[in-house]
Structure 1
Amino acid sequence: MFIVTAVIQALAMALSMFWEILWPLVLGFALSGIVQAVVSHKTMARALGGDSPKNLSLATLFGIASSSCSYAAVALARSIFQKGASFTSAMVFQLASTNLVIELGIILIVLMGWQFAAAEYLGGLLMVILLAVIFRLTLTPRLVQRAKEQAAKGMEGRMEGHAAMDMSVEGGSFWQKLFSGKGFTAVSHYFVMDWASVWIDIALGLLIAGALAAWVPESFWQAFFLSNNPTLAKIEGPLVGPLVAIFSFVCSVGNVPLAAVLWRGGISFGGVVSFIFADLIILPILDIYRKYYGWKMMGYILVTFYVTMAVAGYVVEFLFAALGIIPQNRNVAAITEGFQWNYTSILNIIFLVLAAILIIRFLRTGGPAMLKMMNSSGHEMPSHGEDHHAMHEHEHGHAS
């Protein structure tokens, strides 16, 4: 009976957190779909040929404009690297695509507060700069060449097909692209496929967070994060945060509920931020780096990413403490309050209607056939023109 009660309690907390972040997820993925619909992969690769400040700025912007799925970001980074982007630009791109995307900021604001979203974006930009400096000082042409040779072997990771999909609309202004039939269709396809690519991570993150919140006593977290000694806690937090992430197996926006549990448990502010940053060095993704670029480059990515994540965590902790804006309240409403009829419920209903509209468009324009190819080899995906030809055929068929 005790076990059943504990499981029910964990599930209730997981569902409560899901209800809290549902509308931000729908809004974030819809906005992400809009941006992806007007920026093509070809444009990315052409613009990222070097590692100058301009190249890296564009890599950051393209990352912000891409899917937040960590696996798809890693696969797309390899793709643009093979097409001529510099290795530094490719790594900056995937860093931005998981730490600076729209949906992540919205969810952080709703679940944990604006300070965490501000720290995430500030720390993300800082990581881009740190990574570029470290790569310039330590990355050898020989290691890059080996990585390029390994990448050319085309070993499979995850979400290859999703990363290879380019349904962006060409011709016309931003608004003309967006409000065209093809633009609407492209947004709906990106929306559903982004959901399909991260729902497992979101579900896993919620379930693990619910279990930890329900089953692990506060005293354990306080001892683990040295909460009784604030100075040591601030030193430990950014070092331990990424290590916890590596072994959590949860990436993308799925690790935000886990971050909320860690924050409630007593981890430092910088520790929370470095934990969220570390979704690109979890064990399954490290294995993909090994396949994509070889053992040596995998080790290099792990060490350089870990260092930048920890340093960014320290800088954010120091800066926000100096400004006096680190939150003092560790009670996360989604964990402690449960379901309530409030503005969250109203927004969830509104955005579920939006989701339904996009899903219907997706189903009526050949979406399910493309969904089957999402986790296939990128080489099997239709080309840019074929994507639009298929969409056009479906749209024409429904119009007639």
Structure 2
Amino acid sequence: MPDVLNAISEALQMAFFMFWEVLWPLALGFLISAVVQALVSRRSVVNLLGRDDLRGVTLATLLGAASSSCSYAAVAVARGLFRKGATFANAILFEFASTNLVFELGLVLLVLLGWQFVAAEFAGGLLMIGVLAVAFKYTLRARMVEAAREQAQQGLRGRMEGHGDMDMSVTDGPFFRRLFSRRGFTSVSHLFYMDVASLAQDLVLGFLIAGALAAWVPNSFWQALFVSRDPVVSAVWGPIIGPVISLLSFVCSVGNVPLAVVLWNGGISFGGVISFIFADLIIIPILNIYRKYYGGRMSLYLLATSYGAMVLAGLVVGSVFQLLGLVPAHQFIAVFQTRPSWNYTTFLDFAALAVVAALGWQFLRTGGVEMLRAMESAPGPEHAMVHDHDHHEHHH
């Protein structure tokens, strides 16, 4: 019994050490994301995504990256865009951009794994979206899209339904006036905590699973799984097996990054890490949501095309970075064993907690709890949940 308790304690300790290392970049990423969402109206996005051409693909990518979301919220938003007039292809590309080309993911990758992984994530993300756009253009049949549209209009529930339809942007007035206005601050606080709430489960699971794997699974297991003794085979096998591990992990969004650290420590290839991170949109719960939203056939189609694009992006990015000499040497990432100390990380974490507290106070006093309850609701296709900040303001 003491051995079991010690093992659990070690796993929890490793999970906390990693969380402490990434607390400030997570908070900063959520804050930047909230500011962008507060100033960009989602209602204006639909009008720009109604055509399957280069302009539509480009706008879907840029606007998706600007509207950073957790995976479940991104899927809900994509269906909302599709139901309101965006093409199916652009809605899905928007979804992929909003989970793979986002601030918080890049910041956490930078802190835990280094700038090379950040560069590869964004380069590979753009490549993956390009591959998907081409695949959709030549393989997505009109009858499949119509069947998906009929299924989408049924409004079956997934997760984060309110997130998909809620628009809390502040669009009247100059940029800085909107940003520093009372309504702007309220909008940022609500969006900040909406993102935190939508990602909390995946983050907790990600840290706990990563801590458990780091503590309990020997590196020899991972090295055998990833064929790390043969660099050539490993470079090809990593991007193939990476998304499969992600699919089975049930963890998505930024919660994937702690697991990526474990896999990198275990010997997976550079491209394998990138493909693994990309695969948050094909985990089993999300495939089930695809089935509800678009039907079984489209769910399988999205699994096949997405997996192929992830593998290809991982292979290409891994090879290019290897040729350029940008792949870091495999070395143990000590974040699991780095105890909190009085260093810059601790001071930045305390600063982040102060910002979180200030946003939390505004969130609580302006109806934020009610907003979170609404986030899990499923409004009908004719509704758009536009949050009225002023309605909840307390005037003294």
Q: What TM-score bracket applies, with the shorter chain setting the length?
A: over 0.9
Over the residues paired in the alignment, what is the CA RMSD in angstroms? 1.3
What is the distance in 1 between the residues matched to 2:260 and 2:382?
35
Work out whether residues 169 and 187 of structure 2, in 8 Å CA contact, stay in contact via their aligned partners in 1.
yes
Aligned to 2:338: 337
Aligned to 1:108: 109
What is the distance in 2 between the residues matched to 1:375 and 1:138?
34
Shift of 1:384: 5.4
Work out whether residues 165 and 381 of structure 1, in 8 Å CA contact, stay in contact via their aligned partners in 2.
no
- Counterpart code for 1:105: G
Work out whether residues 162 and 385 of structure 2, in 8 Å CA contact, stay in contact via their aligned partners in 1.
no
Work out whether residues 68 and 253 of structure 1, in 8 Å CA contact, stay in contact via their aligned partners in 2.
no
Residues 237-290 of structure 1 show CA distances to partners (whole Å, capped at 9, x for unaligned) of 000000000000000100100000000000000000000000000000000000
Aligned to 2:194: 193
Aligned to 1:281: 282
Aligned to 1:394: 392
- Counterpart code for 1:87: F
Residues 303-324 of structure 1 show CA distances to partners (whole Å, capped at 9, x for unaligned) of 0000000000001111100110
What is the distance in 1 between the residues matched to 2:14 and 2:209?
10
SS of match in other structure, 2:375: coil
Q: Against the structure 1 CA distance between its residues 341 and 302, is the aligned structure 2 distance closer, same or farther, given a 3 Å change threshold? A: same
Aligned to 1:350: 351
Aligned to 1:266: 267
Q: Against the structure 1 CA distance between its residues 282 and 33, is the aligned structure 2 distance closer, same or farther, given a 3 Å change threshold? A: same
- Counterpart code for 1:116: F
Residue correspondence of structure 1 range 301-320 to structure 2 within 5 A: 301-320=302-321
Aligned to 1:126: 127
> Where in structure 1 do 4 or more consecutive aligned residues deviate above 3 Å?
378-385
Residues 35-69 of structure 1 show CA distances to partners (whole Å, capped at 9, x for unaligned) of 00011121111110012111111111111122321
Shift of 1:74: 0.1
Residue correspondence of structure 1 range 91-240 to structure 2 within 5 A: 91-240=92-241
Q: Against the structure 1 CA distance between its residues 289 and 71, is the aligned structure 2 distance closer, same or farther, given a 3 Å change threshold? A: same
Shift of 1:180: 1.4
Q: Could you tell me the TM-score, scaled by structure 1's length?
A: 0.96
Shift of 1:372: 1.3
What is the distance in 2 between the residues matched to 1:381 and 1:28?
32
Q: Against the structure 1 CA distance between its residues 381 and 67, is the aligned structure 2 distance closer, same or farther, given a 3 Å change threshold? A: farther
Shift of 1:337: 2.3
Aligned to 1:25: 26
Aligned to 2:69: 68
Residues 192-249 of structure 1 show CA distances to partners (whole Å, capped at 9, x for unaligned) of 1100111010000000000000000111111111011111101100000000000000
Larger deviation, residues 339-348 vs 254-263: 339-348
Q: Which ranges of structure 2 fall in alignment gaps of 5 or more residues?
A: none
- Counterpart code for 1:36: Q
Q: Against the structure 1 CA distance between its residues 381 and 337, is the aligned structure 2 distance closer, same or farther, given a 3 Å change threshold? A: farther
- Counterpart code for 2:319: F
Residues 152-192 of structure 1 show CA distances to partners (whole Å, capped at 9, x for unaligned) of 11100000012211000122222222111111110000001
What is the distance in 1 between the residues matched to 2:169 and 2:14?
38
Work out whether residues 28 and 106 of structure 1, in 8 Å CA contact, stay in contact via their aligned partners in 2.
yes
- Counterpart code for 1:274: S
Between the aligned residues of both structures, percent identity stands at: 55
- How many pairs are equivalent? 395
Work out whether residues 206 and 254 of structure 1, in 8 Å CA contact, stay in contact via their aligned partners in 2.
yes
- Counterpart code for 2:21: E
- Counterpart code for 1:363: L
Aligned to 2:56: 55
What is the distance in 2 between the residues matched to 1:343 and 1:27?
15
- Counterpart code for 1:161: G
- Counterpart code for 2:356: A
Shift of 1:333: 2.7
- Counterpart code for 2:186: T
SS of match in other structure, 1:272: helix
Q: Against the structure 1 CA distance between its residues 50 and 382, is the aligned structure 2 distance closer, same or farther, given a 3 Å change threshold? A: closer
Shift of 1:381: 11
What is the distance in 1 between the residues matched to 2:174 and 2:88?
31
SS of match in other structure, 2:155: coil
What is the distance in 1 between the residues matched to 2:298 and 2:101?
24
What is the distance in 2 between the residues matched to 1:85 and 1:284?
24
Work out whether residues 37 and 191 of structure 2, in 8 Å CA contact, stay in contact via their aligned partners in 1.
yes
- Counterpart code for 2:240: L
What is the distance in 1 between the residues matched to 2:364 and 2:380?
24
- Counterpart code for 2:342: W
Aligned to 1:77: 78
Larger deviation, residues 113-122 vs 331-340: 331-340
What is the distance in 2 between the residues matched to 1:271 and 1:255?
13
What is the distance in 2 between the residues matched to 1:224 and 1:145?
42
